[in-house]
Structure 1
Amino acid sequence: MSDPILFSDTYITISYNATLDCISADWLGFQNLQTVQEGCERILEAMVEKGCTKVLNDNTHVEGIWSSAAEWVGMDWFPRMRQAGLKCFAWIYSPSAFSRLSTDKSLRFTNDMNGIQIFDQMEEAEAWLAGILEKSA
């Protein structure tokens, strides 16, 4: 059975992963400041709505650079995610070198890196989140 979709648009699909008790975000295609901000706000809303403390942020389908949003992600959105209860954020790199640079730039603007991990593969990110789930059980 697939995870229930909470929000979907051309640039992102957000669902609730009951197995990992997390919000799953699958970003799609080219991103810009507007799509990143809108998608991030939807992730925050979904996290609050579901009472989740974990996010699986999948960038494997992202293409190109989106560094215009990096400072906003690191200095505005991540602190608000923390205030809303975020504890674990698994971020899966895009195969695009430019997208990876944007991810890295976002993290340079992030003051509190506790609970944020970067992965190259979905399986690694899921295993990390599953390990967090086991520790909290």
Structure 2
Amino acid sequence: MSDQILFSDTYLTLSYHKSLDCIYADWIGFQNLQTIQDGCERLLEAMVEKGCTKVLNDNTRVEGIWSSAAEWVGVDWFPRVRQAGMKCFAWVYSPSAFSRLSTDKSLRFTNDVTGIQIFDQRAEAEAWLAGILEKSVN
């Protein structure tokens, strides 16, 4: 996959993946309300800047619980990212049970989960996004 790094910090790296025409968000370590809000806002900006409608949100390297941000993600951020054009959101679970609970909690706060898929492996998420890309080309 070709990468163009758009943002990098200790808690998150955002890249544009040309082959999948998506923003790849690689979250790292323990997260809290502030890092989630800052990272999600940067992700939204990157999506708009690149004109992407797809996101690969990878929580593989996330540790612990971040449920303090779950309501904000579901109620505030997801509607805005949809309004900005997001159509497909591939969310890769963390191996951390607590992080998985936070992901699930975010989705319970989300009114419209259309186009959002949860995966256990990044390869599965990439295959799903590639399938979406293939369908849009044909």
The two structures have a TM-score, normalised by structure 1, of: 0.99
C-alpha displacement of 1:2: 4.6
Cα distance in 2 for residues equivalent to 1:108 and 1:32: 18
Aligned equivalents of 2:9, 2:2: Cα separation in 1: 17
Asked if structure 1 preserves the Cα contact closer than 8 Å seen for 2:63 and 2:99, the reply is yes
Aligned residues: 137
Task: Work out the CA distance in 2 between the residues paired with 1:26 and 1:122.
Answer: 10
Of all paired residues, the percent bearing the same amino acid is 85
CA distance in 2, matches of 1:4, 1:82: 23
Mapping for residues 74-93 of structure 1, pairs under 5 Å = 74-93=74-93
Please name the residue that 2:122 is paired with: 122
Partners of 1:69 and 1:4 lie apart in 2 by: 28
Identify unmatched segments of 5+ residues in structure 1. Answer: none
CA RMSD of the aligned region, Å?
A: 0.8
Q: Compare 1-10 and 32-41 and name the one that shifted more.
A: 1-10
Partner of 1:31: 31
With normalisation by structure 2, the TM-score equals: 0.98
Match of 1:108 in 2: 108
Q: What's the CA shift string for 1:56-107, capped at 9, x where partnerless?
A: 0000000000000000000000000000000000000000000000000000
Can you give the 5+ residue segments of structure 2 that lack an aligned partner in the other structure? none
Q: 1:2 to 1:133 in 2, by over 3 A?
A: closer
Following the alignment from structure 1 to structure 2, what is the Cα–Cα distance between the partners of residues 79 and 26? 21
Q: What is residue 51 of structure 2 aligned with on the other side? A: 51
Alpha-carbon contact 2:92-2:125 (below 8 Å) kept: yes
Aligned amino acid, residue 28 of structure 2: L
For the Cα contact (< 8 Å) 2:55–2:89, is it kept in 1?
Answer: yes
User: What is the CA distance between 1:124 and its match in structure 2?
Assistant: 0.4
SS of 1:76's equivalent in the other structure is helix
Distance 1:24 1:135 in 2: 20
SS at structure 2 position matched to 1:28: strand
Matched letter for residue 6 of structure 2: L
Matching of residues 54-65 of structure 1 within 5 Å: 54-65=54-65
Q: Report the 3-state secondary structure (helix = DSSP H, G, I; strand = E; otherwise coil) of the residue aligned with 1:4.
A: strand
